Structure 1
Amino acid sequence: MKYLIILLVACLGLQLSTAENTYTARFLTQYNKIHDPAHGYFSKEGIPYHSVETLIVEAPDHGHQTTSEAYSYWIWLEALYGRVNNDFSKFNAAWENMERWIIPSHGDQSTNNFYNPGAPATFSPELDDPSQYPSPMQFGVPVGSDPLYQELVSAYGNADMYAMNWLLDVDNVYGFGNTPGGGCELGPNTNQPSFINTYQRGPMESVWRTIPQSTCDLFKFGGMHGFLDLFVGDNSYAQQWKYSNAPDADARAVQAAYWAYMWATETQQVSSIQGTLEKAAKLGDYLRYSLFDKYFKKIGNCVGIWNCPGGQGKDSAHYLMSWYFAWGGSIYNNWAWRIGDGAAHFGYQNPLTAYALSHIDALKPKSPSAASDWAISLDRQLEFYGWLQSNQGAFGGGATNTWNGRYDTPPAELTQNTFHGMFYDWEPVYHDPPSNRWYGMQSWSTDRLAQYYYATGDEKAKSVLDKWVKWIIGEIKFENGDFTHPEWIEWSGNPPNVNAKVTKYSSDVGTGSATARTLTYYAAKSGDQNAKNVAKQLLDTIWNKYQTDKGVSAPEVMDTYSQFNNEVYVPQGWMGSYPNGDVIQHGVTFIGLRSWYKKDPEWPKVEAHLNGGPAPTFTYHRFWQQADVAIAQGTYGLLFNE
């Protein structure tokens, strides 16, 4: 009888341990902070804000916008909550909210049925600087055919895209009123979220040089042709809708669904999330647009807009996760367009998602060729990590099928060692700041690689992780109850001889947590005790050092905020306005396009800096960082039960 009692207690301990150990307890503490209505992480619609604080300029230009990135982290957070608390209803609800607010409805993209997959889009070259825009459309340049469209229409019974627009003005600060599900613009007085976009003018268009615009351009705001003639030169302009997708975010949502499936399987609750798993598989089906060249041109040594032929079938697929894809169409005329992207950054790769969509039956998409496409992508991504790995262990930028975004001739040294005919680019897509300078690309992408390794034991993944883990452990320092790890990385050389040098360190709680999670997954599969110890020390240090009333966050000196007074290029003679009356004209500044910022309660701190004072310090609560902290703590708790 005594042994039966001991056995029963042991079994109960196994059932309760994930909710009782230190790290899952921390997960729940942070989870509850994020969900406390008083802390301001969510809008009245239940949408996760980019940050609690409104005055923040980085990729979004306002804290109460949201991104597909924030949504994907929220879905992941709720998946882990399902495992820790045996309740996956919140995971389902997060997906439903995402589908309602940041995936365009049929009414938001109503003319997709006029899309011609034999002529996906008209070529328009990417130019080096915003001052060179608008970019002329060049009719007649050969483009390839879209091999996905008809398959998707057959699978889902309609021509709509199922993908997130990357950016949403949750509080309608700009006033476009382009409410999801509303069909088009309602105007500045709506109190509902609004689809918007910002970047569209080449690699030097930092956030400080953008001209935000509605995704539904009725020529009601902006200038004579709305915002279109700031970006594209055409013989005539038609009122149109258009959306842009960040593939890494959609892939992260699918990745979260994979873990929800695995965790629900452990707790015999798969039936409760079946509908959401089907939606995740559908998202992965359309996510394949990220695997193709921008104009569906043939992959490999693609030089010269007239010389580089359009692809047929899948020969326009590079099978890597590219920076974006986009789609749009006329509101009143019978045409629509779609583009992929020929540039792939290592930081966007997600081998776990590729594995889930190709190997897990519950997540295989409906389209007949989707699982095989993702199987090829999985192999290609793993090969990509190896090709880009530096001598030190960190991963170089990426590769492109379209040099300079216009199929230019690359430097001769880059043609000596290509990736399936694609050219190495140490800073793919954007250059201000360089896209692979920020260490977060390392921790984000390598975390996904480590999750894939944990799930499969693939030795190809382990071999590159071994080298990366050795590098990062050597770059992490613990001192006086704090930690530092890389923030900026400088690059030199080309594959296979790339070199990485850390030039700046920080105590960023988000990338620190992602690093800890990478080491956690790696250690759990490989048995590397040193990696486990460093992960634990990172998690403990972040938790103990950086508690705030709203979450876990480190103060930041915002030395970029002098750029509020920077000029935003507008062509001479162009004149337009925003819904609030802010004038768009030559010589306008960043703050001149966003006068509403002067009413922000934190504006005096920035104004003092603009008047010659020191750079202001902010303690931000970005949704992705706060979720990353929670997920990293909870993951360690699940895997090591300490």
Structure 2
Amino acid sequence: MKASILVLSYIVGIAYAGVYTDRFNVQYNKIHSKGYFSPDGIPYHSVETLIVEAPDHGHETTSEAFSYYVWLEALNGKINSDWSTFNKAWDVLEHYIIPVSASQPTAQFYQPSHPATFAPELDTPNQYPSPIDNSIPVGQDPLHQELVNAYGNSDIYAMHWLLDVDNIYGFGNSPGNCENGPGTPGPSYINTFQRGPMESVWRTVPQPTCDSFKYGGPNGFLDLYTKDNNYAKQWKYTNAPDADARAIQAAYWAGQWAQEAGQLGTISNTLSKASKMGDYLRYALFDKYFKQIGNCVSPYSCPGGYGRSSAHYLLGWYFAWGGSLDYNGGWAWRIGDSTAHFGYQNPLAAWALSHDPNLKPRGATAVSDWQTSLDRQIEFYEWLQSAEGAFGGGASNSWNGRYDTPPSDVSQNTFHGMFYDWEPVYHDPPSNRWYGMQPWSVDRLAQYYYVTGDYKAKNLLDKWVNWVLANIKIDSGKSYTLPETLSWNGAPGNLHVSVQTYSSDVGTGAATARTLSYYAAKANHAQAKQVAKEMLDIMWTSHQTDKGVSVPETPDTYHQFNEPVYVPPGWTGRYPNGDVIQNGATFLSIRSWYKQDPSWPAVEAHLNGGPAPTFTFHRFWAQADIAIAQGTYGILFNE
């Protein structure tokens, strides 16, 4: 009977019909009708506007949200045989969060023999601006000419990580434009973090990606970050490699599912764009200044790299690119990143870019680079796995972000000469404290295992699944708890993790359930399947809201609306709305528009001595993750 139903469903154009794929459709329809998208079709970070985490406003958005949007629509194609929405998602992504050629106006002046000028990363925001040092050797960029040969221009095809969708800051850096001001419709390219590992979101001074000195101080915002003899009007973008890799991962699944349905031709153009993104994503595989990888312990004596000697082959935390606005004496620059976090790795994307004929990039060495990256990522997981099973932190080729000599206990424990760091990139809060990094990354490892059957991946997953199953508590099908924050001690070879706090979070819960689902489907692991099923059932039946699936939360950081934001004494500037940027400024004083937010009275009462407010947020990534986890379970187990 079930086979007959499936045949009938296929005939009428529905690829799957079952409890969990039905839930996907319910959640999918909520996402598309309950305020998750701007009028231009851009996914907001959250439906709610008052939310401060990596973005400092809910109606900003991230490349992360765009990547989840692409994944959501890939699954919609699989479940509902409608591939137009997948193509549309990539079109929106391409138009709004990949800078168009006019937004990279002097890219053609880039010189790969000198990619960028060194500026040390410093420990705290009050040590900035950082002095630019032309005497520090940098390496050569081995990708540029190959990419020009493949695509015919010097532009970068990659997502910038952050958009001010409603243009609440008022910069007006819309695609192809530069600082057109508050009257410009959104979205607007912006950036925030740039001042070391202790610069939490509460200590940032948001700035435009296209700085024509119209706002900020006399030098725009540039002299808050770098110290130079003179400043040029310029553009600059920062990429979050895990998001680009997730979009490529989603495109891989879309290609597989469309091909199974005989519909590959309907998305072939989009797949070629995903392949192109994978070509440029290779900048994440290189040291920040293209210096040699391994024992790089002095900015002066550590040499610049040539060819692949500067490639660590891991997905770094970012890469960035920029240039002058003036064509007269124009210039451009590019940097990779010296630090890799296990949470950003994506072995399925690396495998797809090196093995899937639909996604193999044009770049002459791209396939071999991604094959090497795949092998290196698996080795990275092996090195970072704790005795208990969770994965700990990452590694850096540039200690303290300035090629310092690390402590002796660190220098004796290396990965291809890179130094172990339990909290790579940021320390407030520690970057590997949040449990969500675990299922985000391990889900990709589980998908890679599901596709390939790689025994190395299985060995890693066996241990991780045992750890996570031991730390999930389910109460009679009514509620669940899973880890929320983690603590770490030791180092690779003797690394240990313990769970500090637990929660009933639905976003990390969905990611965990999907990880368990892929693992169970390949390894035939009954307990992993059962726990995944119970978690998906509980979140669906216990945590429904009118906008999706969510649980109330009480942020313990909102007293930091009054957090001082470091601005050097004597430095004064203004935002488009007139907010003054000067010594003594606070997070709120340079974001005075928050006082008009509908949720502001609850925060104001807290700042006046009341209890921390409780909110029910609907983050795009989490709501998409829930839909995808439900639908994936239905597909894998035909339920």
Both proteins in one fold, TM over 0.5: yes
Work out the CA distance in 2 between the residues paired with 1:622 and 1:431.
23
Q: What letter is aligned with 1:398?
A: G
Q: 1:19 to 1:585 in 2, by over 3 A?
A: same
SS of 2:573's partner is: strand
Work out the CA distance in 2 between the residues paired with 1:10 and 1:570.
63
Q: What letter is aligned with 1:133?
A: Y
> 2:148 corresponds to which residue?
153
> 1:26 corresponds to which residue?
23
SS of 1:244's partner is: strand
- In the alignment, does 2:261 pair up with 1:261? no
Work out the CA distance in 2 between the residues paired with 1:27 and 1:179.
33
> 1:277 corresponds to which residue?
271
Match of 2:527 among 524, 527, 530: 530
CA contact (8 A) 2:74 2:250 kept: yes
SS of 1:626's partner is: helix
Aligned positions, number:
635
Work out the CA distance in 1 between the residues paired with 2:4 and 2:393.
53
Work out the CA distance in 2 between the residues paired with 1:458 and 1:259.
18
> 1:490 corresponds to which residue?
487
- In the alignment, does 2:452 pair up with 1:456? yes
- In the alignment, does 2:203 pair up with 1:206? no
- In the alignment, does 2:245 pair up with 1:245? no
CA RMSD of aligned residues (A): 1.2
Q: What letter is aligned with 2:469?
A: I
CA contact (8 A) 2:9 2:15 kept: no
Deviation at 1:14, TM superposition (A): 7.2
> 2:381 corresponds to which residue?
385
> Please, which moves more after superposition, 515-524 or 411-420?
411-420
> 1:70 corresponds to which residue?
65
SS of 2:235's partner is: strand
> 1:432 corresponds to which residue?
428
Deviation at 1:558, TM superposition (A): 1.4
Match of 1:374 among 359, 370, 373: 370
> 1:343 corresponds to which residue?
339
Deviation at 1:6, TM superposition (A): 10
Cα deviations by residue, 1:404-447 (Å, 9 ceiling, x for unpaired): 00000111112222100000000000000000000000010000
Match of 1:309 among 289, 303, 308: 303
> 1:409 corresponds to which residue?
405
> Please, which moves more after superposition, 626-635 or 333-342?
333-342
Deviation at 1:13, TM superposition (A): 6.1
Deviation at 1:8, TM superposition (A): 5.5
> 1:180 corresponds to which residue?
175
CA contact (8 A) 1:18 1:638 kept: no
Q: What letter is aligned with 2:471?
A: E
SS of 1:204's partner is: coil
Q: What letter is aligned with 2:632?
A: T
Work out the CA distance in 2 between the residues paired with 1:299 and 1:534.
42
- In the alignment, does 2:411 pair up with 1:422? no
> 1:620 corresponds to which residue?
617
Q: 1:602 to 1:155 in 2, by over 3 A?
A: same
> 1:169 corresponds to which residue?
164
SS of 1:365's partner is: coil
Match of 2:113 among 118, 129, 147: 118
SS of 1:97's partner is: helix
> 1:361 corresponds to which residue?
357
Deviation at 1:91, TM superposition (A): 0.2
CA contact (8 A) 1:18 1:641 kept: no
CA contact (8 A) 2:9 2:17 kept: no
Cα deviations by residue, 1:109-128 (Å, 9 ceiling, x for unpaired): 01011011000000000000
Work out the CA distance in 2 between the residues paired with 1:126 and 1:622.
31
Cα deviations by residue, 1:528-557 (Å, 9 ceiling, x for unpaired): 011000100110111111100000001000
Q: Runs of 5+ in structure 1 lacking a partner?
A: none
Work out the CA distance in 1 between the residues paired with 2:532 and 2:459.
19
> 1:513 corresponds to which residue?
510
> 2:472 corresponds to which residue?
476
Work out the CA distance in 1 between the residues paired with 2:114 and 2:222.
21
> 2:576 corresponds to which residue?
579
Q: What letter is aligned with 2:565?
A: V
Cα deviations by residue, 1:16-58 (Å, 9 ceiling, x for unpaired): 885321000000000000001xx11000100000000000000
Deviation at 1:192, TM superposition (A): 2.3
> 2:35 corresponds to which residue?
40
TM-score of the aligned structures, taking structure 1 as reference length: 0.98
Deviation at 1:616, TM superposition (A): 0.3
Work out the CA distance in 1 between the residues paired with 2:253 and 2:53.
30
CA contact (8 A) 1:394 1:500 kept: yes
Deviation at 1:340, TM superposition (A): 0.3
CA contact (8 A) 2:75 2:631 kept: yes
CA contact (8 A) 2:6 2:16 kept: no
Work out the CA distance in 1 between the residues paired with 2:24 and 2:515.
17
Q: 1:317 to 1:560 in 2, by over 3 A?
A: same
Q: What letter is aligned with 1:476?
A: I
Work out the CA distance in 2 between the residues paired with 1:216 and 1:258.
33
> 1:295 corresponds to which residue?
289
Work out the CA distance in 2 between the residues paired with 1:602 and 1:306.
51
CA contact (8 A) 1:18 1:637 kept: no
- In the alignment, does 2:319 pair up with 1:325? yes
Deviation at 1:12, TM superposition (A): 3.2
Work out the CA distance in 2 between the residues paired with 1:401 and 1:532.
39
Cα deviations by residue, 1:231-257 (Å, 9 ceiling, x for unpaired): 000011000000000000000000000
Q: What letter is aligned with 1:203?
A: P
Q: 1:15 to 1:505 in 2, by over 3 A?
A: farther
Deviation at 1:181, TM superposition (A): 2.5
SS of 1:19's partner is: coil
CA contact (8 A) 2:190 2:209 kept: yes
> 2:608 corresponds to which residue?
611
Q: Runs of 5+ in structure 2 lacking a partner?
A: none
CA contact (8 A) 2:480 2:535 kept: yes
Work out the CA distance in 2 between the residues paired with 1:638 and 1:8.
17
Q: What letter is aligned with 2:349?
A: T
Work out the CA distance in 2 between the residues paired with 1:628 and 1:304.
43
CA contact (8 A) 2:15 2:81 kept: no
Work out the CA distance in 2 between the residues paired with 1:447 and 1:69.
15
